[in-house]
Amino acid sequence: MTRLLNQLSRPGDDPGTRFKGGAQIMSGISLLGIVAVCFIACSVAADVWNAAFRVIWIVLTSLGLLLLAGLSRLPQQLTVRRTFLLVSMVVAQLLIMTGVCALKGVIPGFNQQGQVLLWLPYALAPTVLAVMIGRRLGAFTALCCTIFGVAMFPDGTDAAVILNYSAVCFVTGTVCALVSGRVHKREQILRAGFVASAIAFTSVYLLLSLDAAGTGSAIELRGFKGGFNVGGFAVELAVTVGVNFVLAALVGGMMPALERIFNISTPITWLEWADMNHPLLRKLQIVAPGTFHHSLVVQRLSEAGAEAIGADVTRAGVCGLYHDIGKIANPQYFAENIADQNNTPHADLTPEASARIITGHVTEGVELAQSYGLNNRIVNVIREHHGVSTAYFFYRKALDMYEEEKAKFEEGLIDTCPEEVDKAIYTYKGPIPQTRESGIVSMADAVESATRSLQHPTEDDIRNMINGIFKGRILDGHLQDCSLTLGEIEKLKESFFATIRTMHHNRIAYPKPKTDDATTAVIELRKAEDKQDT
């Protein structure tokens, strides 16, 4: 399964990236899902005409759902992997629902149509989609399960039960999707299970009570068997809570496997990557402490910038943490790890060799991130944060050496004409940032590196430096593909300025403590005794 899905994406693509032929494959997966749902519905049909009615219902409602998805722009959130996850979870929930309906009359005491409503897994698919992708797709999944579930009830089911199912399924699934979206701890998924239990139990009892009051029929629940029955009520409540709790625990347990199979990272996993005890970050702290401190500042700048423009704060911060992870390979060649700048190892290297080491940290970082199984979004930020910029210090040094050698050749001091400097050697391979988070991290990296060189800067110095960096990157076309608007760029500038200003604040000079004559005498006496001892 994983190998098949990996073949559908180009190396380095993140889950939100489109590729040629993706729309056709997504359509094919959707069609297979509709066929699977029709097959499940036909398996509980009594005859051919009943099966045909169910198939027509599924096909027509599928067209309506596709139209609704198009109008709400949901396909923009879908990729091949996400479409496969959506279809798989809807089919899985409907299969469980069919199995529960088949148990009616098999389990002792479970023989009434109304009781079926308490056993159904309303929140399974919506919760998974909400946690892994987002609330909107989770709510849409709840609608899919509601509409398709109507065709899954066996023959002879009362219309009132089907209508009640539709109301309970949609409300429960939608609320659980809203509750489960953007969870930050796996235990929070259990909260969705309890929410599903409360909504399902309350809704079923309320709807069946209203139906009984309107039609005069008896309520098909133990809690109202022969009048209100406390024991039966408690049993059905326990069953409802148990079913939904088990499903919530199942979702939490299988989430890591689903993330690996579908290459989708939840906010929980993003927070786990931000843990300073992650092996890569621990190694960076030990091997390249200067780079680690630089990455921490870039993380803070990236989070502040993302918050200012409404981008994903967690993803931007985590990408900022890992953007320079490739410097682990040769930490001693990077300025932030060199204690004495007058004794740099680059003095013993040619400009070309130095440039290859400096630009090579991007390739090293991509390989490290992939080997540790980091998300493709992180990998892409590592690959893109320098874009196609130039390692200018060493490029300028190479040009100066070339001019010097050329002058000697023209004067006849040397016999060989030097080769012209190949700028490609000193240029990062890119590409330029392709996402908002990548653009934020690349600018945070540039701003942090540049403002670090300022000595006792004023606010005007910091602001002018930031404006100059942004102006240069904009003129170079560095930000043209990352969807950052001019308004958002201005917000980024202000956010970076506010953050850098607080980092460069000056402390007041504390006055030295005053000493009286006696204390001064004691100090002088001790100094004299120390001299005698030495």
Q: What is the pLDDT of residues 388-412, one digit of tens each?
A: 999 999 999 999 999 998 888 888 8
* pLDDT exceeds 50 at position 119: yes
Domain with residue 194: its CATH number is 1.10.1760.20
Beta bridge partners of 427: 390
Same-domain status, 253 and 278? no
Same-domain status, 458 and 357? yes
User: Quick check: is 417 in a domain?
Assistant: no
Mean per-residue pLDDT of the chain = 83
Q: Give the pLDDT confidence score for residue 417 in this predicted structure.
A: 84
Tell me which residue range forms the domain holding 434.
Answer: 274-391+427-503
Q: Give the pLDDT confidence score for residue 502 in this predicted structure.
A: 85
pLDDT tens-digit series, residues 19-52: 445 778 888 888 999 999 999 999 888 888 889 9
Cis peptide bond prior to 431, omega within 30° of 0: yes
427 three-state secondary structure: strand
Same-domain status, 322 and 373? yes
Report residue 189 as tokens.
């998924």
Share of the chain above pLDDT 70, in %: 83
Sign of the Cα torsion 149, 150, 154, 160 reads positive
Domain with residue 444: its CATH number is 1.10.3210.10
Contact 87, 33 (CB under 8 A): yes
Same-domain status, 34 and 167? yes
Report the domain count for the chain: 2
User: Quick check: is 512 in a domain?
Assistant: no
Same-domain status, 177 and 256? yes
Q: What angle do CA 292, 296, 301 make, to 5 degrees?
A: 145
Same-domain status, 258 and 298? no
Same-domain status, 249 and 325? no
**Which of 207-216, 334-343, 458-467 ranks highest by mean pLDDT?**
458-467
Same-domain status, 264 and 317? no
The model's pTM is 0.77
- Domain boundary residue, one of 268, 303, 337: 268
